[in-house]
Structure 1
């Protein structure tokens, strides 16, 4: 027996997995509980009247805020991963991120008038999630020795279960606590969830076996000083720009969300230009694959633009236009946000088996096209449901059908996107490309949050139909070029 095999035989395991997987599973489950709990009620809180304990924002503005909030979470995953890799190490980054997230929820839970603590809380949650989210996944991978791919894949499946369990439970629990304007109780529940996750993370740290203890590529002292100077200069510049904008009297929440949306869109454009226009010792084959990847990235952004309207436009539709009864029991509008993770838990193994069965006969571009078509079809259903709702409240099962179709679309696109990102990544950018993939979420969320402004110029049925047409048209274009993209990606011969 080899030394490595002997160590593996002596280590304490849970169903054949390192005990650390339980620690990370529970941490992620509670972090996702806090994240999706806040996400389920944030739109309603922002749009609620001041007398009802909310901020009194117009619904279009509230939608834009939720959109850029989601976008920034994904955008800051890039610097969050870099900080862990070069300064903190993944374990400390997760701990620091969780503490910052908890402080953000506590800020929002303080029941005082005014928006200052709300914006501070959202900013802290964004920063903390950017630190925690990319690095806890890294730690899962590091629990397993190199070459133990089967157990590692199974470990990530267990970890994915934790994500969706937290996302499933949170909307029901948090929204029921926040009923009748008791927003501070809902935000407080999210803070408690993160606190529970942090407590068991600290207590279970001994089971992590050193995973993520040290940065993978720690900065040298000189690099550290240079980074510190740049960070201080960057933060000072941003603060100065915001201060001058505020003093000009033209800074509004609406304009701020538009500015953040533009920045979010420019980041991946600049990043792809940097990759494709520079040398980076890339081979011609790697450069060709990256050109194909840009098309898939754009398709994914269109998908998330529609898919992530769930906590805003669809949540509002649930509250205003549906009969919120399931099996004879009344539910909150935000509880409909639990439909999605429930359906994902059910259908993940079905789609995993489907892709294995189809093998190489169906390429990534075709799967992306299917995902776009399905999310477009879901909004065609929404357009019809909105038409029916003009005569009175309709069954909440219409929303269940919409989420079912969207989950089929997500499972056609999202896991495939992760896989194709790692497959097409140039050697020089391999460790960064998953962060680039998450930028597609950021772009989609930011633009999607702005689309609600169309509701001021068209009816709900027309709005849903317009977005559906955009998605279906994008699916058709992608499908039409799928053969060419498969050649560029090296899936089939020219």
Structure 2
């Protein structure tokens, strides 16, 4: 008789770690914009504090989702997932301490944000894939349940953080409000360490794999074939040259004071570096794809096919970046919109005893996720299957982008109501939060499983890092758009529409999501799913 598959005993340690870590992260993240506007940016004129708070917030988000590249690389090549997560968690704790101690010192506070971005980003691609490592093909059917519960746990921590931290910020000040998340991060690190004897630890490659993704890609780009050009090498080289040009243009303006005509003054280091990275990934990937078949014979067919699959995954990832440009603005743009709305304390149905600040509306997101994940799995997906529609991961992700666009259409109409001068109830924000959260469940919860299952064993940490880069480029779209509207010609165009800048941008981002959803659907029809779980022991 075959023994029923069991849930690995070490999973609760990882879940407890994730719940506390997410409380710590969202606890500080969700009060960051209100704190910046009301305290740290008081040196600026009032009209400039909101835009600067958005700039700081999205620069921080870019860092959080950029550093997974570093964490994934260190884990895969040198230290393994367990050690890398533990060490970056200690950096994470130090960053929280800086926020609490340097509440009135901009340099110290920004240093804390940098450390949190490094620590949080460094562990981000590893914890999810570390969960996957605890399963093999004998119990992989349990992995989907755990991945969904993993995402549910993230939002359990996020819910209480979003609800409580604005109250602590208002009643007890920033030292306490930023200190509590720091304590929770310490607890998270301790819980992760306690499970050290039970974990399955997949050893790092240490750069010894001759058929790794980067080795196969390098072979493809450096191999010449008689009678055939090197178009792929030329494309990749052009990408590298353009990336260098981005950084040179920024450095000439920032350090040497040279006016570079083709480089906007508003493109600081964060925007310039992200543009350079995006160009390298896009053109490098295209170059490798054009010449990948040249690696056959020098590398096994399986390795070459694996690289091809990763390149196809990166296209899926790229098409989700517009979703993240909408999603991450709920903690910046929507908070600032909420500050201009009326909190309906006089209404009998409004929970005034609990929701006192507009920033607390962010708690709706994790609360709805905790409800929607079981609803989707127990009700919606089985119903769709009985109706003859299979909700595949790619279909779910595509529809998630659509729902995010719809959320921003409603947010735009709310903004028009505010702009008209009418008193607008904060309760109206429930509708965009509901649609955006439903979209998030379809995109992000699904992508955790999708990204792990599509990557081969040697590349799981790196491919998860690429997945988290989608949020970096999502925030990059926001910064590029904010920089673009500072142009007088763009402002004139917006003025001619009759909309305020805020309302115009909301409808713009909604349209951006709809275009991305169409592109995603067209590509998803051609994508072939993979199965890269470990073989059973």
TM-score of the superposed pair, with normalisation by structure 1: 0.80
Superposed, 1:391-406 pairs within 5 Å as 391-406=421-436
Partner of 2:279: 266
Cα-to-partner distance string for 1:60-95 (whole Å, 9 max, x where unaligned) = 232122223222222221220221233222222222
Between 1:306-315 and 1:416-425, the stretch displaced more is 416-425
User: Shift of residue 340 of structure 1?
Assistant: 0.7
Q: 1:186 to 1:274 in 2, by over 3 A?
A: farther
Partner of 2:517: 475
User: Shift of residue 339 of structure 1?
Assistant: 0.8
Superposed, 1:159-178 pairs within 5 Å as 159-178=150-169
Superposed, 1:53-72 pairs within 5 Å as 58-72=49-63
1:388 is aligned, of 403, 409, 417, to 417
Partner of 1:313: 333
2:440 is aligned, of 387, 410, 417, to 410
Q: 1:355 to 1:421 in 2, by over 3 A?
A: farther
User: Shift of residue 191 of structure 1?
Assistant: 0.8
Partner of 1:462: 504
Q: 1:380 to 1:187 in 2, by over 3 A?
A: same
2:205 is aligned, of 186, 201, 217, to 217
Q: Give distance in 2, aligned partners of 1:313 and 1:116.
A: 24
1:350 paired to 2:363: no
Q: Give distance in 2, aligned partners of 1:471 and 1:41.
A: 27
SS in 1 for 2:205: coil
Q: 1:293 to 1:28 in 2, by over 3 A?
A: closer
User: Shift of residue 299 of structure 1?
Assistant: 2.5
1:34 is aligned, of 12, 15, 24, to 24
Q: 1:150 to 1:361 in 2, by over 3 A?
A: closer
User: Shift of residue 404 of structure 1?
Assistant: 0.6
Q: Give distance in 2, aligned partners of 1:267 and 1:178.
A: 41
Q: Give distance in 1, aligned partners of 2:433 and 2:25.
A: 19
User: Shift of residue 345 of structure 1?
Assistant: 0.8
Matched-pair contact (CA < 8 Å) for 1:20–1:209: yes
Matched-pair contact (CA < 8 Å) for 1:75–1:130: yes
Q: 1:455 to 1:49 in 2, by over 3 A?
A: farther
Partner of 2:525: 486
Q: 1:341 to 1:276 in 2, by over 3 A?
A: same
User: Shift of residue 118 of structure 1?
Assistant: 1.6
TM-score of the superposed pair, with normalisation by structure 2: 0.74
Q: Give distance in 1, aligned partners of 2:163 and 2:177.
A: 10
Superposed, 1:190-201 pairs within 5 Å as 190-201=181-192
Q: Give distance in 1, aligned partners of 2:189 and 2:453.
A: 34
Cα-to-partner distance string for 1:110-158 (whole Å, 9 max, x where unaligned) = 1464321122111111111123222222332333455221333333333
Matched-pair contact (CA < 8 Å) for 1:30–1:196: yes
Q: Give distance in 2, aligned partners of 1:62 and 1:331.
A: 21
Matched-pair contact (CA < 8 Å) for 2:129–2:464: no
Cα-to-partner distance string for 1:246-294 (whole Å, 9 max, x where unaligned) = 7546999972332244235335325523542442546898788667655
SS in 2 for 1:65: helix
Cα-to-partner distance string for 1:196-248 (whole Å, 9 max, x where unaligned) = 2223333x235x41433x7332357xxxxxxxxxxxxxxxxxxx999998754
SS in 1 for 2:203: coil
1:301 paired to 2:315: no
Q: Give distance in 2, aligned partners of 1:211 and 1:286.
A: 24
User: Shift of residue 300 of structure 1?
Assistant: 0.4
Between 1:350-359 and 1:36-45, the stretch displaced more is 350-359
User: Shift of residue 33 of structure 1?
Assistant: 0.7
1:372 is aligned, of 387, 392, 401, to 401
SS in 1 for 2:25: helix
Q: How many corresponding residue pairs?
A: 457
Partner of 2:357: 332
Matched-pair contact (CA < 8 Å) for 1:340–1:403: yes
Q: Give distance in 2, aligned partners of 1:421 and 1:112.
A: 38
**Structure 2: tracts of 5 or more residues without a match:** 209-247, 260-264, 495-499, 531-537
Q: What value does the CA root-mean-square deviation take over the aligned residues? A: 3.8
Q: Give distance in 1, aligned partners of 2:99 and 2:125.
A: 24
Q: Give distance in 1, aligned partners of 2:404 and 2:484.
A: 19
SS in 2 for 1:321: coil
SS in 2 for 1:309: helix
